[in-house]
């Protein structure tokens, strides 16, 4: 049992490692993958306004300086997509001086048995990259089955004064799909959506995964898990189109975001490019 718990802890560390080494944007040392969507160019000659919406992986153990930077973002709402199992092991650190509405909106249910499936793949003798790819494709397809769980995010982004951070553990899959749907609602083209999704790969080459070996996870296998591939999002998007007909139909049917709501979102989040 102790060995199993150690392996599960190691797997969570792998997820968190991606968050700790991704592109620095806000400059929070304990969570460099904490970045905003502001500045992304949308294909109608506009960009997303800065300081309104952020995405990240989990964040904890913030230094005093990190806490100051977090407060400086002006965040007033945090939506956490993680399961109870994940939150218990890596709770968010929110400075007491911040007034934040923290909302738990788990996408499906990633529990100890679910994490065990990842461990089986990562520790199998005849490990292949294709095993991870298949596992992640299945995971992303699963998010579509639980797509209604994303609704709290899409309700909140329609509030006039909401400054929102949404995140999961690694900030790459659940967060990646949520970001893709948000960007689509703003009118972003597919290349822009995919570029944002694949940005998580910047974490992989910068992450020291050698410590994973002590838990029985070779560095190359941990690295394979940390990355994202276009096919992960493509698979989820194809499932959306098969189930709903289009992403626009999903937004309207599940989140109540039709043309009028899109116009509001674009007026709130977009500005003319200089």
pLDDT higher than 60, residue 8 = no
Q: What is the CATH number of the domain that holds 261?
A: 3.90.190.10
Position 17 scores a pLDDT of 45
Which segments within 99-182 are labelled E, that is strand? 101-104, 164-167
Position 113 scores a pLDDT of 56
Position 115 scores a pLDDT of 62
Q: Who's near 53: CB < 8 A, 6+ residues apart? A: 36, 37, 38, 157, 163, 164, 165, 166, 182, 269
Domain containing 21 equals: 2-272
Mean pLDDT of all residues belonging to the chain: 84
Position 27 scores a pLDDT of 73
Position 221 scores a pLDDT of 77
**Which residues lie across from 75 on neighbouring strands?**
none
Model pLDDT for residues 37-88, shown as the tens digit of each residue = 999 999 778 999 999 999 988 888 788 998 999 999 999 999 999 999 889 9
Closest of 228, 125, 250 to residue 174, by C-alpha: 228
Position 237 scores a pLDDT of 99
Which segments within the chain are labelled E, that is strand? 35-36, 41-42, 46-48, 53-56, 77-80, 101-104, 164-167, 270-272
pTM of the model: 0.86
3-state SS class at 225: helix
**Residues 221, 17 contacting (CB under 8 angstroms):** no
> Where does residue 49 fall: left (phi above 0), alpha (psi -120 to 50 degrees), or beta otherwise?
beta
**Residues 226, 122 contacting (CB under 8 angstroms):** no
Model pLDDT for residues 188-246, shown as the tens digit of each residue = 999 999 999 998 887 666 555 665 666 667 777 777 777 889 999 999 999 999 999 99
Give the total number of structural domains in the chain.
Answer: 1
Model pLDDT for residues 162-186, shown as the tens digit of each residue = 999 999 988 899 999 999 999 999 9
Place of tokens 């029985």: 216
Position 81 scores a pLDDT of 97
What distance in Å separates the CA atoms of residue 28 and residue 68, rounded to the nearest whole number?
9
What distance in Å separates the CA atoms of residue 88 and residue 82, rounded to the nearest whole number?
10
Place of tokens 């153990």: 61
């Amino acid at each position: 049992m102790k060995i199993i718990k150690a392996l599960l802890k190691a797997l969570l560390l792998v997820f968190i490692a991606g968050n700790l080494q991704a592109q620095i944007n806000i400059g929070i040392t304990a969570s460099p993958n904490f970045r905003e969507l502001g500045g992304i160019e949308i294909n109608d000659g506009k960009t997303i306004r800065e300081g309104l919406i952020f995405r990240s992986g989990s964040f904890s153990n913030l230094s005093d300086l990190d806490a100051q930077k977090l407060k400086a973002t002006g965040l007033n709402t945090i939506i956490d997509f993680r399961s109870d199992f994940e939150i218990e092991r890596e709770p968010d650190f929110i400075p007491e001086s911040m007034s934040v509405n923290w909302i738990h909106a788990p996408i499906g249910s990633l529990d100890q048995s679910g994490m065990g499936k990842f461990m089986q793949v990562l520790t199998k003798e005849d490990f292949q990259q294709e095993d991870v790819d298949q596992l992640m494709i299945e995971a992303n397809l699963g998010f579509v089955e639980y797509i209604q769980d994303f609704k709290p995010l899409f309700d909140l982004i329609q509030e006039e004064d909401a400054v929102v951070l949404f995140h999961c553990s690694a900030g790459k899959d659940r967060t990646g799909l949520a970001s893709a749907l948000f960007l689509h609602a703003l009118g972003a083209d597919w290349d822009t959506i995919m570029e944002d999704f694949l940005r998580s790969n910047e974490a992989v080459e910068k992450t020291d995964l050698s410590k994973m070996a002590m838990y029985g996870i070779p560095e190359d296998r941990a690295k394979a898990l940390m990355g994202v591939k276009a096919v992960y999002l493509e698979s989820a998007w194809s499932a959306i189109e098969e189930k709903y007909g289009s992403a626009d139909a999903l937004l309207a049917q599940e989140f109540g975001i039709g043309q009028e709501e899109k116009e509001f979102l674009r007026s709130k989040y977009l500005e003319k490019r200089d």
